[in-house]
Chains A and B, each alone.
Chain A
Amino acid sequence: MKLIVKRKKNPENIFVNIFSLSVTMGIAFLIVIVLILFLSKDPAKTIRYFFIGPFLNRYYFGNMLNSAIPLIFTGLGIAIAFKASTFNLGGEGQVYSGALAATAVCLALPEANGFIGGSLAILAAIGVGAVLAGLSGLFKMKWGTDELISSFLISGAVVLIVNYFITGPMDDPANNLLTTREIAKQYRFMQIFPPSKLDISIFFAVLTAFLVFFFMFYTHWGYEMRMCGLNREFSRYGGIKVKFYLVLPMILSGSFQGLAGAVSVMGTYHMSVKGFSFGMGWNGIAVALIARNNPLAVIPAAIFFAYIEAGASAAMIHSDVTFEIAAIVESIIYFLITAQALKDFIRYRKRRTE
């Protein structure tokens, strides 16, 4: 199988990055304004809600930050894989199955101590994600099976199987919705910003981003992993076991996806709902992309993503456009961010003006 996904090296100049990112955002927002002018009967109001809606009250603001939490985890997971030039396209399945694993552990131990049982639930979620993604890494190492497609396919199957568990054996007989039963009270994360759903795991997410940053840039494995990602030939020359770094990043990547599922369940939903995590895996790719795979930049990138979605939903509630306008903005950002030529152009212009 031939893939031309370019395993690209990032230019590390932070000023160029921020500058090109601002240009990208500017163009994206400009397009959104034009779109709203075209779509809305009261564009001024819609635009106002789109841009400042998320800051209007505690509820909106808190929920925006809350929806950034899983995106931080999935974004970190993807950033790790990308940094090592491996690809994990199975985020959707890994998040979803991680959520189910956490739910299952919590439901199986209704009476256990919150900390012990909760830790077990999180570990189970991490384990499931790690195994699913790690398999793709293993196949790549052993026989060169492309991890990009295999992780996607495995995830595709896993999503359906998780659907089965949520709607079948684990379905809550007490309601007609396609959900599991609720997890016990002691497993739910503390909410810190009522009435919004924002819970304590946001600190956990930020801390994790710092830990990943530390891991990447200050530890043995992080160094070897990055070197392999940048130049496998050089790494092999330097005595690094490059094969190992086809597997490790995938395992880590999957772990973070699973973790995203667990915090969604234990912090926000308190159960698994059919399809509730859809999009988290894909959005993780976008977050990592905007953050240029820098773990610390993942935090603002995830919040930015959550902001667009929160703005769109505020505009939907208070005005006459629909939430999916967020998807259009996001897609435009995707397009602009990946257009290498545009970046080169900006860099060139910048050099000229310096």
Chain B
Amino acid sequence: MEGISKYFPENRVQANRNVNLVVKKNEIHAIVGENGAGKSTLMKILYGLERPDKGRIVLNGKQVSIHSPMDANRLGIGMVHQHFRLIREFTVAENVVLGIEPKKNGLFFNRDKSVRDVRSVIEKYGFNINSESRVADLTVGQMQQVEIVKMLYRKADLLILDEPTSVLTEQEINRLFDNIRELKNQGKTFIIITHKLDEVKEISDRVTVMRRGEVVAVKETENVDQKELAKLMVGKSVLFKLKKDPVSPGAVVLELKNVSLKLKRQERPLLDRIDLKVRAGEIVGVAGVGGNGLGELEDVVTGLFKVSEGEIFYKGENITGLPASKFREKELGYVPADRLNRGSCLDSTVRENMIITRHHDFLKAGVFNQKKISVFVNNLFKSYSITGDTSVPIGTLSGGNIQKVILARELATNAELIIFSEPTWGLDVASGEFVYENILKLRKNGIAVLLISSNLDEIMNLADRIVVMYRGRITGRFTNDKSISKALIGEYMMGVRNDFN
């Protein structure tokens, strides 16, 4: 792939900027990078799901144009999506052959032949699934095998695996890697997207590192160690000049005791026995790479998701299992990661968005006091220097202004605990700094802050204590002082080190 560029006007993101990617025949090529580095977009372009703005794709020396997955399949390119594209109600064989079904008498679906053919593919490459079982009855790991078999059945020689290990257990990962090695022996080529460096080291031949839509390095896996990769991935430390007063934590505000979250049919828990305390006047940073339980932690501490095990306390009171509305009544502020869907209602006005958390305060006998709302909204606009009309749908504002609205709203509660999740993701530098200043102001005012973020710079700059999560578990706990380095935390985030296993 040469000089690929892609810009998404909807969310104003330059996903790929002049990217060159060279994959050699019969190698396992890893692409690593943080969330939003542009790995997935690049692969979608290769698989015909997105069209690039610029650049060309050369396959076996010939320039090709790929307009749809069908084109990609014809050229021998197959992709396994992070979120499987399977029909749960169908059998393995039916899923595999769908779209290029073998026929009987030129008209009917040849079930026997498809079962036979699929079974022979499964056996040839040593997978452990039954071609006649229903996909809904399979484990997540087996579903992934179905996806791979689907591509092999289509005679794919180049297989793209997007975050293949993110939902798998250790055993399933080992199994997957065995399959990949076996396939490589039989002449297949792989591109594996991941951000788990131990896996890169274990499975790949070469590795391309991406950051912010660009390729920053291409290395032979043998010649590079995980520490170096981690450094390349996260980039140089960007330290803002933030004035931090010495910490003087007060009483425990939020406490999680042994909290776990499991989903049905998924063997690996999304959260695994989490213990966590947040005190008044301190910022606790939870670091980790996406898919390791940060989002789930966010859902659980805000009451939007019920825990499977364990207990949550707010100022000593057990609030486990209470509905989200009760969490809100406890005066909890929450700036969510998903600010466009959860944090705001894009089709509703800025004004209506601003009052959602405390709209009860403006009621008199069930009717809103419009004047009071105007005063409230205008004050927040002024103090957070938000520009724009309060009566337009919030969806018409820029990302930075939307985040300011959310921030203003959540900080205006009299909360003693505020939870931030990815508070600066996708924001420009100025908006980001604005967010940081406000977080530090909260700390100064004795508010407990839980900062969940995959942006390590952010955590290092703000947090007093740092907790690192990897695969749903807390793998490291640190006090944020001179003794720790970004590289060290990075190693915990990537699963290179683990204090609790």
Contacts and interface: CB of A to CB of B under 8 A. Distances in A.
Interface of A: 9-10, 12, 218-221, 223-224, 226-227, 230-231, 233-241
Interface string B331-365: 00010100001111111100010001101100100
Contacts of A224: 359
Contact of B342 (A9, A219, A220, A234): A234
Contact of B356 (A9, A12, A219, A227): A227
A227 B357 contact: no
Q: Chain B interface secondary structure, helix, strand, loop or mixed? A: mixed
Contacts of A220: 359-360, 363, 366-368
Interface stretch (B54-62, B307-315, B319-327): B319-327
A220 B364 CA distance: 9
B329 A223 contact: no
B195 to A, nearest CB: 27
B328 A239 contact: yes
A223 B367 contact: no
A230 B336 CA distance: 18
Nearest to A243: B323
B302 to A, nearest CB: 8
A241 B327 CA distance: 12
B325 A240 contact: yes
Given A239-B328, A241-B323, A223 B345 contact: no
A237 B352 contact: no
B352 to A, nearest CB: 7
A-B pairs, 9 with minimum CB distance:
A239-B328, A238-B356, A231-B345, A9-B347, A234-B345, A239-B325, A220-B366, A237-B342, A230-B345
24 contacts: A12-B347, A218-B368, A218-B370, A220-B367, A220-B368, A223-B368, A227-B345, A231-B348, A233-B341, A233-B342, A234-B341, A234-B342, A235-B356, A236-B324, A236-B325, A237-B304, A237-B324, A237-B342, A238-B356, A239-B324, A239-B328, A239-B329, A240-B325, A241-B325
A231 B346 CA distance: 9
Contact of A218 (B302, B329, B342, B367): B367
Q: Chain A interface secondary structure, helix, strand, loop or mixed? A: helix
Name which of B343, B346, B347, B352 has the most chain A CB atoms within 10 A of its CB. Answer: B347
Interface residues of B, number: 29
Given A220-B367, A223-B368, A237 B334 contact: yes
A235 B342 CA distance: 8
B344 A219 contact: no
A236 B303 CA distance: 10
A287 to B, nearest CB: 22
B345 A236 contact: no
Nearest to B347: A9
Given A223-B359, A227-B352, A241-B323, A236 B304 contact: yes
Contact of B347 (A218, A219, A230, A241): A230
A236 B327 CA distance: 11
Contacts of B328: 238-239
